[in-house]
Structure 1
Amino acid sequence: MPAAIYPVERASGQSLQKTSFQASAPFSPDFDIRADVAMVYGINDDGGEFEKRVKGYRDKGYEVQFMTGIAWGQYKDYFLGEWDGKKHLDEGQMMQNGQTIWHGENVPYIVPTANFLSYMKTHVKRAIDAGVTAIYLEEPEFWARAGYSETFKKAWQKHYGFPWMAQHESPEATYLSSKLKYQLYFDALKEIFTYVKSYSMSIGRNVKCYVPTHSLLNYSSWQIVSPEASLANLDGMDGYIAQVWTGTSREPLFYNGIKKERVFENAFLEYGSMVSMTAPTGRRIYFLTDPIEDWQRSWDDYKLNYQATFTAQLLYPMVNRYEVMPWPNRIYKGKFKVEGMADKQTIAPAYATQMQVMINSLNSMPQSDNKLNGSHGISVLLSNSMMFQRYPTHKGYEDPQLSNFYGMAVPLLKHGIPVSTVHMENLAGNALKDTKVLIMSYANMKPSSASEHKHLADWVRAGGVLLYYGQDNDPFQQVKEWWNTGENKYNAPSEHLFKLLSINSKANTGGTFKFGKGTVYITKQDPKDIIMTANGHQKFIATVKQAYETGAKAGKFLVKNNFVLERGPYTIAAVLDESADSKTLELNGHFIDLFDPQLPVVYKKIVTPNTQAYLYDLKRAPGKQQTQVLASAARVTDEQRGKKFYKIIAKSPDKTINSMRILLPNKPSTIKVANADGALKVNRSDWDAASHTLLLSFDNFSQGVNVQINW
């Protein structure tokens, strides 16, 4: 009598849209990473043949979507006059010296015009006609140093109704220039998304619209203006991809007077700012990581920083959708440096295996209500206007490395506080409901309306504790805005806020003030001084501790040097350097080490400062008596379970090595591995009796490998 078979299909039928990647290159078995979604990039990219590229991925089982740039792209037919008979290079973003800012040859960063948007509609229409289920218009970016072209001057006159002002001549002109740049891309996305929705619905479909964008922190740091949070107000906008990766997170930060790369810390804050931007809006968000980056580095560098950014993204348990990598062809076929070797090398087999274990784990990464260990409820206030003050600077006031923001956040992170951020634009949406202590400054941003102050005052009155830092002497305090026009005669926006908080002129010297059930701490110090001077953070930490424990009565302010989170069977951990102590973190249990391509079973994991760990806890395996793959460097489908056997199909890129750990009821008696061409060699099969798991290794194939285990 044959054994009972219980078929399980993990990756069939309707796509979960849980994992994705972007690629301009046509499908290749060499980078067939088996995420749910392939975002085919660009109509004209990689030799064109867009429909053929779409079909290539769809035929291999991917849900296919479309991504292209909104501020730049392979649009040479537009710029060089092939589209409408006119050249449009004059629509590029221009600097004060008259030079265009280029993304590539004949590819300028663009000032979005009505004509350009008409051209872009032809691209999204072609993508919709090819059957894509979503449109991604990435990186709506206007450089702060741009704003001098005739095209921009015309847009200024139309928007403001008065002649263009050179942004380098006054803070007022800089602020107006930045607000216009912001609005131009907001309007551009609104128009194209409206078209996508109306056209797709007219043919009986509802194509989704997303914006892949860097974080507010990165755009502010890199001196770029982008619509960011306001996009969530668009009816036709369905969500974001948070473009955070080594390239953004390695931007140096100050701390304790030292400027250097702090990749994990920056990534944690970048992902957090994307969460705070979207959480109150209900929009979908994907987190991006990249196993390499745009700049040429060594493979060792890529690996260490990939682990740091990957860990940072997983410490946000409310997000469980991921763009697992961009440009897989670059990762699998590119050549980069190896320490001690003269010639550049392709990806090492061990790193490819580790990377594939990591990205395949994301297919089963659950959302979780679990919280990161530490004192919760401390937030730093953000605003889109951070981008408006970055360039050019005026009257000698500088904010190196965005230190007026990071000064309020990095010291807390270094002390083990899971600090969050809150966007001013979302205050009306109950964005402060989980915040006990809010830290803010107007040294680096300004409020867009008086209503934002009303929300803050109401929150303090109800028991919130507000910490305000700043001397309010930066030149943007005096730009012509709502707080100093009409009936308002305030020298700085903080004066209006303090009035609502019933704080009189004593605020000029700082102090502690009660308001309703809440408390306000005012410190006449710009936040940048907290991190740009040695030991400058000590008084700040003491003030936040007092505000948290005494002012907010929120519990103990727990100082530590680590973060640990459990999500389903996964344990994610990071240990900080430059912290209150230099202790290692010891995790005890029954784990699979997912950062090790050999997938060893370990009972103790030591995590040292400035490193991270990613573990699978065998005791928390779902249905832990059930035969199953716990970790794998391939996508597993077509599971069949019998009383004496287990069958699967494993798919992953050609020329890579699979490493998988499988939970079994008994030690295997036979293991058969084969593809369509016949039997394959088993590279390794090790039985671990204590965990009842089998480590199995064999060469991967895109077409699939059939595995049958008998016992």
Structure 2
Amino acid sequence: MTDSTDKHGEATGFQEQAPYDESIDLRTDFVMVYGLNDSTPERIARWRAAGYRIHLMTGISWGTYQDYLDGRWDGSGHWADAQTAGDGSPILHGESTDIPYMVPTFAFTEYLVQKLRPIIELGVEGIHLEEPEFWARAGYSESFKREWQAFFKEPWQAPHSTPEAHFRSGQLKQHLLSRSLDRVTSVLRDEALAQGREVRFYVPTHSLLNYTQWQIISPESRLRTLPSIDGAIAQVWTGTSRTPNVYAGKVAERTFETAYLEYGIAQDLTRGTDRRMWFLHDPIEDHPDRTWEDYLANYRRTLVASLLHPGVARYEVAPWPHRIFNRPYLREGSAERELIPPDTATSYLIAMNSLRDLDQPDVRWSQEGPRIGIALSDTAMFQRWAPGGESGHYDGLQDALALEGREQLHFSDFYGLALPALFEGQRVCPVQLENVIDAPDALDDIDVLVLSYEFQKPLAPGIHYALAGWVSRGGSLLYIGDGADPYHEIRSWWTGRYDTCADHLAEALGADRSRDGVQASGQGRVRFIASRPAEFTESPERAAELVSAIRELAEAGGHTWKSSNWLSVQRGPYLIGAVLEEAGGSQVVEGTYLDLLDPQLPIVRRRELGPGQLAWLRDLTYDDETLLASAGRVVDWQRDTTTIRFSCEAPRGVQVTTALRVPSEPTAVQGVSQSKYEDGVLWLRHPGDPAGTRVELSFRQP
């Protein structure tokens, strides 16, 4: 790590609705001032005065838009634009009674344009339109019925009356959200350019995996092609990733593994483009009744999971710092709430500041085995509601293990394909299926692709021609499916000519779908297994069957398969790893490291990690950098033969720990409350100050 004054790359940022306060001044590169109200200009001005690049964030599907709903905006009430469930009730955001999720009609879209227009004059550099969301259980409002008639040119059908009606409902919802985003961003960008300004537009969005699991429709792959979108934030955090799933017959929270898969699919929103992607971490999550210990443990699971994807090196380090540093929560074994423990605050800040140094060109995996892709399509979102019946609504705040209809929530068709090989320690990553058409390199990092059409469908035959080309050049494809999914019968490009879309896939590959075993296809290979994907979650034996099939294809392609309980990568000096909990066993790490997950930043020479344990270590032998890690932002760095001077910026009220590599124990230390020297490392501690704590170290003449 070096002096981190440059903020142009916007490597780290956070979102905040509260006004500026020194206790939540995280000293990142940029801040996303949240919400549109009378206080927005003042809040922007104060954060700008604190040295931040300024973005603005607001919800595009929900927000404080009561003036639109009640008619103050244009003289007409618009509650008919609220997303509506089958019983006629509006679908509301959180615990609110007057903040519904909106149908993005033309009228609502124009309202958003007018609402956002004044923001351009405030000189923000980016506008984030977060969470374009349409609930799968919605689709009964009068405005949605009109949009159906216009889009499909036929009368509205109750979305959950048939599989086809539900699938079409999902297609329309995605279209409406994409249309609204395109209109808002294109108009505002043009108006900004007319004023001589440049404003970038981003979409903070949950992962395709989470939206599918929670039964929500969103644009997802469309974000790659909307011309006025400059990137996205992958909103992956404890609240999404602790959603239970099933593996080997056991229902459980698998926060690390789920987060790893969520971050994996999210990067496909920008991979191969010049658009920006930030990975979100949330030290607290939305659920207010967990303990500090629970928050910290699960934060670390999502943090390490994100770092195992070295293709992304920008991060939203926190939403809502005020709820992290200024709200009380429970402690283990106590009914009393208290503010953040000092060591927890220090630990969070060490992570947040270290994240600025993750853009490392030197990337080395612990094992170079096959890279396994799990194909996931936008259309999986269109199939997640059970037609003809209600199932439990879930948004991360309910008890998922007691939820009515929780079997539907588990999304076992996907996890049955993804978890078995992941628990073998293989590099498993979901792949956005739609990308294979317009991104020639979409599968360049994949050796074996696992695909099923039992929970999703290909929107165009071109997907199969792209897959066939990839296989013919040496790829390996494993298709899982028994054809029992009722959605095979919907009206689409394959119906009337093929029994299922998988038959067209086999034709494109020149393969026989009814034949067992591996078949050659050009320089590659393909295998069809007539099973329902969810079956591979039912027992260890079924999981092993799938692993055997994937391994067979990988080895046929010339790859060496080595089972492991350890998933890790080295990014420059940083070793990141996890012992996969359900793989069993332990992993010993030896060397000379600084432990970035420990607020004391101790030196580690040997560590044995058990199931579920994590590591984020800085290799002290990798380079000779002086600044190793800090809970503050180090700026104004100066060094000569006898002196080191710098300022360390951090939120007021926290305890800052900084670790430096120095040639000897200093003769004088100024500006800190404590210092300790050992084995070439100097630890400094002092209270946080966002204006900066000036530190000066003196050394003997060499």
Relative to the length of structure 2, the TM-score reads 0.94
The answer to whether the 8 Å contact 2:162/2:387 transfers is no
Q: What pairs up with 1:382-421 in 2 under 5 angstroms?
A: 382-393=376-387, 401-421=410-430
Say if 2:216 is the partner of 1:210.
no
Name the counterpart of 1:29. Answer: 22
* Matches of 1:685 and 1:185, distance apart in 2: 55
CA deviation vs aligned residue, 1:137-184 (integer Å, no higher than 9, x gap): 000000000000101101111111111100121111101111000000
Unaligned ranges ≥5, structure 1: 1-7, 674-680
Residue among 313, 331, 339 paired with 1:338: 331
Name the counterpart of 1:363. Answer: 356
Residue among 60, 64, 71 paired with 1:70: 60
Name the counterpart of 2:494. Answer: 483
CA deviation vs aligned residue, 1:11-32 (integer Å, no higher than 9, x gap): 15x5321111001111100110
Residue among 545, 552, 564 paired with 1:546: 552
* Matches of 1:193 and 1:395, distance apart in 2: 37
Q: Which moved more, 1:375-384 or 1:291-300?
A: 375-384
The answer to whether the 8 Å contact 1:254/1:403 transfers is yes
The answer to whether the 8 Å contact 2:17/2:34 transfers is yes
CA deviation vs aligned residue, 1:550-572 (integer Å, no higher than 9, x gap): 2x12x211100011211121111
Name the counterpart of 1:639. Answer: 637
The answer to whether the 8 Å contact 1:277/1:422 transfers is no
* Matches of 1:564 and 1:515, distance apart in 2: 33
Q: What pairs up with 1:182-193 in 2 under 5 angstroms?
A: 182-193=174-185
Name the counterpart of 2:469. Answer: 458
Name the counterpart of 2:154. Answer: 162
* Matches of 1:223 and 1:99, distance apart in 2: 18
Name the counterpart of 1:4. Answer: none
Say if 2:480 is the partner of 1:469.
yes
The 3 A distance-change label for structure 1 pair 142 and 400 is closer
Deviation at 1:269, TM superposition (A): 0.4
* Matches of 2:517 and 2:203, distance apart in 1: 43
* Matches of 2:75 and 2:668, distance apart in 1: 69
Aligned residues: 677
Q: What pairs up with 1:253-264 in 2 under 5 angstroms?
A: 253-264=245-256
* Matches of 2:333 and 2:322, distance apart in 1: 25
Deviation at 1:640, TM superposition (A): 1.5
* Matches of 1:246 and 1:518, distance apart in 2: 39
Say if 2:686 is the partner of 1:698.
yes
Deviation at 1:400, TM superposition (A): 5.2
The answer to whether the 8 Å contact 2:232/2:269 transfers is no
Residue among 337, 345, 350 paired with 2:343: 350
Say if 2:310 is the partner of 1:320.
no
* Matches of 1:536 and 1:390, distance apart in 2: 24
The answer to whether the 8 Å contact 2:161/2:387 transfers is no
Say if 2:620 is the partner of 1:618.
yes
**Equivalent position amino acid for 2:387 in 1:** T
CA deviation vs aligned residue, 1:425-467 (integer Å, no higher than 9, x gap): 1113121223221110001100000111111112222222211
**Equivalent position amino acid for 2:601 in 1:** L
The 3 A distance-change label for structure 1 pair 399 and 440 is farther
The answer to whether the 8 Å contact 2:363/2:572 transfers is no
* Matches of 1:334 and 1:436, distance apart in 2: 47
Say if 2:523 is the partner of 1:517.
yes
**Equivalent position amino acid for 1:18 in 2:** A
**Equivalent position amino acid for 1:597 in 2:** P
* Matches of 1:498 and 1:451, distance apart in 2: 13
Question: Tell me, what secondary structure is at the counterpart of 2:576?
Answer: strand
Q: What pairs up with 1:78-89 in 2 under 5 angstroms?
A: 78-89=68-79
Name the counterpart of 1:5. Answer: none
* Matches of 1:287 and 1:250, distance apart in 2: 17
The answer to whether the 8 Å contact 1:134/1:208 transfers is yes
The answer to whether the 8 Å contact 2:370/2:560 transfers is no
Question: Tell me, what secondary structure is at the counterpart of 2:338?
Answer: coil
Question: Tell me, what secondary structure is at the counterpart of 1:167?
Answer: coil
Deviation at 1:534, TM superposition (A): 4.2
The answer to whether the 8 Å contact 2:375/2:433 transfers is yes
* Matches of 1:333 and 1:419, distance apart in 2: 38
Deviation at 1:549, TM superposition (A): 0.5
The answer to whether the 8 Å contact 1:512/1:521 transfers is yes
* Matches of 2:408 and 2:482, distance apart in 1: 13
CA deviation vs aligned residue, 1:467-486 (integer Å, no higher than 9, x gap): 1101111110000000015x
Deviation at 1:509, TM superposition (A): 6.1
The answer to whether the 8 Å contact 2:160/2:389 transfers is no
Relative to the length of structure 1, the TM-score reads 0.93
Question: Tell me, what secondary structure is at the counterpart of 1:347?
Answer: coil
**Equivalent position amino acid for 2:163 in 1:** P
The answer to whether the 8 Å contact 2:364/2:571 transfers is no
- Identity value in percent: 38
The answer to whether the 8 Å contact 1:142/1:226 transfers is yes
Residue among 400, 422, 439 paired with 2:431: 422
Question: Tell me, what secondary structure is at the counterpart of 1:696?
Answer: strand
Name the counterpart of 2:398. Answer: none
Deviation at 1:369, TM superposition (A): 4.8
The 3 A distance-change label for structure 1 pair 62 and 295 is same
Q: Which moved more, 1:270-279 or 1:396-405?
A: 396-405
Name the counterpart of 1:3. Answer: none
Deviation at 1:276, TM superposition (A): 2.8
The answer to whether the 8 Å contact 1:395/1:475 transfers is no
The 3 A distance-change label for structure 1 pair 629 and 257 is same
Name the counterpart of 1:499. Answer: 507
* Matches of 2:106 and 2:77, distance apart in 1: 15
CA deviation vs aligned residue, 1:299-340 (integer Å, no higher than 9, x gap): 111111111100011111111111011000111111111112
* Matches of 2:77 and 2:349, distance apart in 1: 45
Say if 2:548 is the partner of 1:556.
no
Q: What pairs up with 1:224-235 in 2 under 5 angstroms?
A: 224-235=216-227
**Equivalent position amino acid for 1:73 in 2:** G
Residue among 300, 305, 308 paired with 1:307: 300
The 3 A distance-change label for structure 1 pair 661 and 9 is closer
* Matches of 2:619 and 2:387, distance apart in 1: 51
**Equivalent position amino acid for 1:326 in 2:** P
CA deviation vs aligned residue, 1:357-412 (integer Å, no higher than 9, x gap): 00000112223352432313221111110100001336999855111111111111
Say if 2:599 is the partner of 1:630.
no
**Equivalent position amino acid for 1:413 in 2:** L
* Matches of 2:229 and 2:166, distance apart in 1: 29
**Equivalent position amino acid for 2:692 in 1:** G
Name the counterpart of 2:578. Answer: 574
Residue among 275, 280, 290 paired with 1:283: 275
Q: What pairs up with 1:116-135 in 2 under 5 angstroms?
A: 116-135=108-127
Name the counterpart of 1:678. Answer: none
